[in-house]
Amino acid sequence: MSHISIDKSSAIAIGEYITRHGDIDIYLDVNDPDLQAAVRNEDAARMTRFIERGLSRSTHIMCLVSRDTVRSWWVPYELGFAKNANKHLSTLKLKGDVDLPAYLEISEIIRGTKSLNRYLSAVRSGLTKASASVPLTKSLLEHYTLSHPLDTYLTYDS
């Protein structure tokens, strides 16, 4: 999951939701001890190598976007690497008035909890687009309630 450091708490919460309710394994930089050691040592070459390793092992790349994402140097790099590696790209818009940078328009846009659940169901079904009609799993259906665990981070889209 690609994100700017300031959105780390959002990335962690969404990552936990995906692994718990989407039954999907994810790569999240905060869980990579090699990458975290490279960050602490400010070793850009090793940071790049470990980020690329995580992206290479992934089938889908999701970019979390907030108003702060446009200041990131790493997010465009990660998405360019993923695009060149023919990974499926998606963009998850975080809560708030977020304008998408042009480089994200090439990805599948996820606008909130409802479309995130559709996307997770599509990924689990082996589809590449959440716009395909895919039934939601029971664990995802349980989150079509008034209170959702991601309400702090995402809007409830239609």
Pairing of strands 60-65, 108-110: unpaired
- CA end-to-end span of the chain: 23
State what percent of residues in the chain have pLDDT above 90: 53
- CB contact at 8 A, 69 and 99: no
Q: What is the mean pLDDT of the chain?
A: 85
pTM of the predicted protein model: 0.79
106 has pLDDT over 70: yes
Backbone angles phi, psi at 153, to 5 degrees: -105, -30
Q: Which two tokens stand for residue 77?
A: 């790099």
Q: Which of 67-71, 91-95, 140-144 has the highest mean pLDDT?
A: 91-95
